[in-house]
Structures are given as structure tokens and as C-alpha cells.
Amino acid sequence: MANHAEDIQKHVRTYMVVFASLAGLTVVTVAISYLHLPTPTAIALALIVATIKAGLVALYFMHLISEERAIYWLLGLTVTFFLVLMYMPTGWKENSVEVNPVWSILPPEGVQSHNAGHGDAGGGQAHEDEAGGQH
């Protein structure tokens, strides 16, 4: 029974250390925002801290630290695919992807399109001429 209580105390101590580390890393993230670093540098540092925090949560709170090696291989494969997807657009050239905004094909404001007569080629003129001729 004493061994079980020791084991629980060890786990609680580990969780408290991880919690304190997460809180400390949160303070580091906020401190990074106050350093007025160039935007790419600040984002890179914040992502590094966030990755460390995510690793701590996954390893200790999700109990992945005691998993088999297959989990780590799958995690490594996932990270590899993520990095490939993140850096793939950096190889694109500006002219290779063309996106036409919707407003470039819409008529200017206040101008009616050629379908304004709803299929009436004369724009309603034939009915006005007939009505005008009968009076």
C-alpha cells in the first residue's frame, strides 16, 4: 500500500512540474510579444515555445511518454507532412497561380447587365409602340 501511495505522489509531482513549466512557457510567450522583435522572428519564437508546450501536454497529460516506438514514428511522419505542406507554397511563383476576383467580372455599379429585360430583346419597346399607336 505504501508503494502505491509513493507512486501516486510521484505522478502528482510530475504533473505539478509540467504545469509549472507550461505556466512559465506562457509567461515566456507573453514576454516575447513585448520585446518588439521583427514579426517573422517573434512568430518563429512563439511557434517554438508553442511546440514545446504541445509536446509537454502530449507526452505527460496524454500519456504518450509511455507509448511504444510506433507512436513516435507516426508522429514524426505527421510532422514531416505538416512541414512539407507549410513550405510547399514558398516554391510557387506569383504568376503560376491566377485568382480572378469576383468584382473583375461584375458590371460596374449602376450599369445594368444585358439580361435586364428578362429575355425581351426590345427592352419592352414593342409594347409601348403598340399602346401608343392605338390611342
Predicted model pTM: 0.52
pLDDT at 34: 93
Query: CB of 14 within 8 A of CB of 56?
Result: no
Q: What is the tens place of the pLDDT at every residue in 51-75? A: 999 999 988 888 877 777 888 888 8
100 has a pLDDT exceeding 70: no
DSSP string, 4-18: HHHHHHHHHHHHHHH
